[in-house]
Amino acid sequence: MKNFIKLSIILLTIACEQEITTGLPESEPLVAFDAWLYHSATSQTIDIYTTNTYFDNSEPVGIGGATVVITNVDDPAESYSFLEGTNGEYTWTPLTATDTFATIGSTYSLVIDIAGTRYESLADLSPVPPVDSITWRFEEGNAFIDDSYFANFWSRDLEGKGDTYWIKSWKNGEFLNKPDEINIAYDAAFSEDGDADGLIFIQPIRELINPFEEDDNDEFVNPFELGDSIYVELNSISQDAFFFLQQVQIQTAREGGFGELFAVPLANIQSNILSNNPDEKVVGFFNISATSSLGKLFTEDDIRITE
């Protein structure tokens, strides 16, 4: 029995130290679109490039020579042409400081022509409620965490079922962009199930604007200290964009290890941009967001604020 245990340990050690090289087949590059735009009086950019293989960490190669136009479906006179820059970057620039991109409440078509291949998509530009305020919630320490302060944003979902949002946040100017920090809402809650229309955003969504981190000793780090700042941005998104971001989170927020045996298989996320070639698959997304925002500095006065 002892010899069997020793042999098992030796084999386990060898297995842990052995380098395994996977033989993945080479895949054909796909056309990719980053067409996430905003209702604002600032330049808007669409990136068009080809994808890399899974283990290729080099910068994607941009695609030049494309024609890119976005048009209001109900008012074709409202049209925006994007001019080519460098490495697959196409930009619309406002002519004046008040020349705002797109009109809230309208539907827009995206049409891109690349060497005779036509790509099309549609996106609604929906309104967005204001961010009314930001407060801090105090949580007394326990065996697992020290005394901590959690930021909350306060806003009310617009009347009318089916509004969808992406809530972004920045701590001390740093965008919280980890996969598990993607914060999306359907009406005032997490999903289309239930009745959260017209309500104040529920507590978990309000509090997902905080960074949730652990130190080198795997101990919870207090999200905010005095003097820290937070900036919250509430973006309206299409329902298609809501489900797209859900899939982005599922595909990227992966813990690895044994749990991957039961995880959703890795796959490209379905795009809302279609090619006139029915056999061609593309990746990326087209969305136009209206935005409201608010920033605040954490001061002594905020310590007395509770829910």
**pLDDT, tens digit, for every residue of 76-107?**
999 999 999 999 999 999 999 999 999 999 99
* Burial class, 272, CB count within 10 angstroms (exposed 0-12 / middle 13-18 / buried 19+): buried
The Cα 296–Cα 232 span in angstroms is 9
What CA–CA distances, in Å, run from 60 to 23, 260, 272?
A: 22, 27, 21
Output the six-digit token pair for 82: 């994007």
The Cα 180–Cα 208 span in angstroms is 9
The distance of Cα 171 from the centroid of its chain, to the nearest Å, equals 16
What CA–CA distances, in Å, run from 136 to 180, 202, 261?
A: 21, 15, 39
Confidence of residue 301 (pLDDT cuts 50, 70, 90): confident
Q: What structural domains and CATH numbers belong to the chain?
A: 31-125 (2.60.40), 133-249+292-304 (2.60.40)
The Cα 72–Cα 264 span in angstroms is 37
115: left (phi over 0), alpha (psi -120 to 50) or beta: left
Strand partners, 183: 167
Please list the helix, strand and coil fractions of the chain in percent, rounded to the nearest 5, in that order.
15, 35, 50
The Cα 191–Cα 204 span in angstroms is 13
Residue type, 54: Y
Kind of pairing, strands 31-38 and 282-289? parallel
Cβ-based neighbour number of residue 307 at 10 Å? 12
Q: What pLDDT was estimated at residue 173?
A: 97
> What are 193-211's pLDDT values in tens digits?
879 999 999 999 999 999 9
Of 160, 194, 185, 180, the C-alpha closest to 241 is 185
* Burial class, 99, CB count within 10 angstroms (exposed 0-12 / middle 13-18 / buried 19+): exposed
Res. 216: pLDDT tops 70: yes
Q: What pLDDT was estimated at residue 108?
A: 98
Model-level pTM?
A: 0.86
Confidence of residue 269 (pLDDT cuts 50, 70, 90): confident
Percent of the residues in the chain that have a pLDDT greater than 90, as a whole number: 68
- Bigger pLDDT: 25 or 167? 167
Res. 258: pLDDT tops 80: no
- Contact between residue 251 and residue 264 where contact means Cβ atoms under 8 Å apart: yes
